[in-house]
Structure 1
């Protein structure tokens, strides 16, 4: 089924909305972790600002309706860090934030051109999709629709690291390191404390590459 002008376009739960602004560099400072290592911090930091490995997460405002759902004009190319982290850590659907587990595992979608070697672990910052939202995800995403997709049904997946922005300390204060390309950073990386995380990355290990039509027959 092709999307027509009358088809209502889904807005993924993880998509940023107009008015949801991120952290300012002036909010950042430096402190020491429990091992005495220098790391990024917030001036008025709370426990919610850090992940399970001590990584600092980018703050971002949220525009929510009365039921707590995201509202406002979508910013299609931007991912909201808090909602992406919620969906990925809880393995919930990135479209509707509904349960994503199937009888065979969790379904993850990726572009056909993205690197993938059969049998090797797959790392992704895209949370899973439930079966109900799998086909609309492909039909309504221009990248997946025009350039093809790969569907992974994962029986085992673990949190691996983050995508983030590395900071450095200069004479004028903290500033992002130029020339970054959003490469996923493993939790074991020695410079993790200097990164401001924006997306959680999972590694898929025990998985099958599947045909979406076998899981969700076309209408």
Structure 2
């Protein structure tokens, strides 16, 4: 089977099996909202290796909304929920697990069974993490993930600063948010997003200054 054909079939299977199990889907992602959290399962196939790769991640619903306000992309607030799963201007979230499922044969039945297995595993993981329904629980998870990856890969480009800034912003802790913005600007960190020549942290700094001025 060609990779393009497999990708098309994976998307179709995910949509069909996801609907059966109560998930919404967009392209190669299945997603659902539990409490304040957005859970997203990304599924992709590798034709030659005969495996499905899957990654279940989570993030607070409020975080992408605040990201868009900072970036000046508030029109995204009116877009379908699935934008949070694969939109270019969204946060990646924190992975709860990732890996692969072997598919003995690329038949319609084999692919459907493997896709359903991915969804059922994701459901089980979400149910086993019932505490993970709030911003505070997410931040605790994110800090642990951040500490682990820095320990394993000291020179990683990964960092958790955007999420920290957004969390402070949402909690009204503007001084803490401003301190992060200033430090990341000094460090030359774009925050992965650049709009009109302005980085995420420069835009956040401007937003925070505007908020302070309006309050004052």
Query: What TM-score comes out, normalization by structure 1 length?
Result: 0.24
Q: Report the TM-score when normalising by structure 2.
A: 0.25
Between 1 and 2, higher relative CO (CA 8 Å, sep ≥ 6) is seen in 1
Which structure is higher in strand share?
A: 1
Higher helix share: 2
